[in-house]
């Protein structure tokens, strides 16, 4: 239908969802077809009472609150009537924007904005201890693979050490639950960004598995790409289409798991509300059911069609080659992880490899020393030895002082 409409220069509009049309007084507005309408995934089924009870009346903190995931989490949490909401971000403008938006919508809610970089151990500790949150969502991260590949120490500092800073502050402040947002790029990572997120997962796993720690639960939620997030392919493709093309795709076979931002955040809340009671259930990683992967070139063609143009004729697609650290496909779990279904719809559970707490603390202490000394070679070698499944590209092998097995 989309292809036919594009050929005939006809705009397609769709009705609202049935749930939005239940009220007799509801105003029915047609809207343009969006890319997410073409994902053809069933709607997320939520355990709404459990999610609401986790948030209602609680003090909730969100790091990375100005980012795509963090800001949507903030919106959804605000709708659940927490006692107060503490927004933490290193970007002044992004933090101001989400604070202003929520303050306008929720005039009676206590909303605090804390300008802070998660790398700053003492600043993080002071903010967490002064606000004493009961629930903490950790979404602050560097996420762009090429940027982190070019500046690996920055990625290690923010994604790994930053997570340690937040987790230890949560532990000292006796936060009831810390939820770390992770990524499918942490599975068999082929880039530094993915490896740093796997290292962060391992730290949270170790804390959650420590039977001496009873006050704080550490939950990790792993998912794939989100449609429309800052710097993702969709805004880039839309801009390229607007300029008349070409639309650039790195490889004809490259594919990714996709979700909308609201859908991903709803499932993060769903996973966070899950409370494993037994010790043997601790340290596991929750994996969002992302459905089937989507070829990026198909995504590009659908966007071109939605713009009213025809792919390959009116708008050309150009293949540019895989970027450093980029994989043809992503995985939600690796062959060594035992996967099981949880009682929560849309949430899977991976029993991933973990490291005993004392050992991971020593590794992170050593990593901090290497960052302080700007020892890129040492930091990358330690990252590789900690995340054994990490397969660095040729450029990272050069920085490590080793010959790449994939280099010509």
pLDDT in tens, 222-251: 988 877 676 678 889 989 999 999 999 999
Is position 197 annotated as part of the catalytic site? no
> Structural domains in the chain?
38-296+326-400 (3.40.50.720)
Residue 59 above 70 pLDDT?
yes
- Token code pair at residue 125: 């500790």
- Token code pair at residue 65: 């609150």
Digit-coded pLDDT (tens) for 341-361: 887 777 888 888 889 999 999
Asked whether 336 and 187 are in contact (CB, 8 A), the reply is no
Identify the band that residue 177 occupies on the pLDDT scale cut at 50, 70 and 90.
Answer: very high
Q: What pLDDT score does 44 carry?
A: 65
CB count in 10 Å sphere of residue 60? 24
**Where does residue 308 fall: left (phi above 0), alpha (psi -120 to 50 degrees), or beta otherwise?**
left
Residue count of the chain: 408
The single residue of 58, 99, 143, 185 carrying the catalytic annotation is 185
Asked whether 179 and 221 are in contact (CB, 8 A), the reply is yes
Residue 407 above 60 pLDDT?
no
Residue 248 sits at φ, ψ, to 5 deg, of -100, 125
Average pLDDT, the chain: 87
């Amino acid at each position: 239908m989309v292809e036919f409409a594009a050929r005939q220069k006809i705009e397609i509009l769709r009705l609202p969802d049935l749930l939005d049309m239940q009220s007799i007084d509801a105003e029915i507005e047609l809207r343009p077809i969006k890319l997410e309408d073409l994902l053809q995934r069933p709607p997320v089924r939520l355990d709404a009472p459990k999610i609401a009870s986790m948030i209602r009346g609680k003090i909730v903190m969100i790091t990375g609150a100005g980012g795509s995931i963090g800001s949507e989490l903030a919106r959804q949490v605000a709708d659940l009537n927490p006692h107060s909401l503490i927004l933490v971000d290193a970007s002044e403008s992004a933090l101001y924007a989400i604070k202003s938006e929520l303050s306008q919508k929720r005039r009676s809610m206590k909303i605090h904005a804390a300008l802070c970089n998660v790398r700053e151990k003492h600043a993080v500790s002071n903010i967490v201890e002064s606000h004493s949150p009961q629930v903490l969502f950790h979404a602050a991260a560097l996420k762009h693979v090429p940027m982190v590949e070019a500046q690996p120490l920055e990625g290690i500092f923010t994604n790994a050490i930053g997570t340690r800073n937040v987790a230890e502050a949560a532990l000292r402040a006796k936060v009831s639950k810390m939820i770390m947002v992770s990524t499918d790029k942490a599975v068999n990572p082929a880039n530094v960004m993915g490896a740093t997120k796997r290292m962060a997962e391992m730290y949270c796993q170790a804390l959650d598995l420590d039977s001496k720690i009873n006050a704080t639960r550490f939950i990790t939620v792993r998912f794939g790409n989100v449609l429309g997030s800052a710097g993702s392919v969709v805004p880039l493709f839309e801009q390229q289409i607007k300029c008349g093309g070409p639309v650039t795709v790195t490889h004809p076979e490259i594919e990714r798991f996709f979700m909308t931002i609201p859908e991903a955040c709803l499932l993060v809340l769903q996973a966070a509300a899950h409370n494993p009671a037994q010790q043997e259930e601790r340290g596991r990683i929750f994996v969002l059911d992302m459905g089937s992967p989507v070829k990026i070139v198909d995504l590009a063609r659908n966007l071109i069609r939605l713009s009213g143009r025809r792919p390959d004729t009116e708008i050309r697609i150009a293949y540019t080659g895989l970027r450093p650290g980029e994989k043809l496909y992503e995985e939600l779990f690796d062959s060594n992880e035992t996967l099981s279904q949880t009682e929560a719809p849309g949430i899977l559970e991976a029993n991933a490899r973990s490291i005993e707490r004392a050992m991971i603390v020593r590794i992170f202490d050593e990593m901090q020393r290497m960052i302080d000394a700007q020892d890129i070679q040492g930091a990358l070698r330690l990252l590789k030895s900690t995340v054994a499944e990490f397969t660095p590209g040729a450029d990272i092998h050069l920085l490590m002082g080793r010959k790449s097995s994939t280099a010509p």
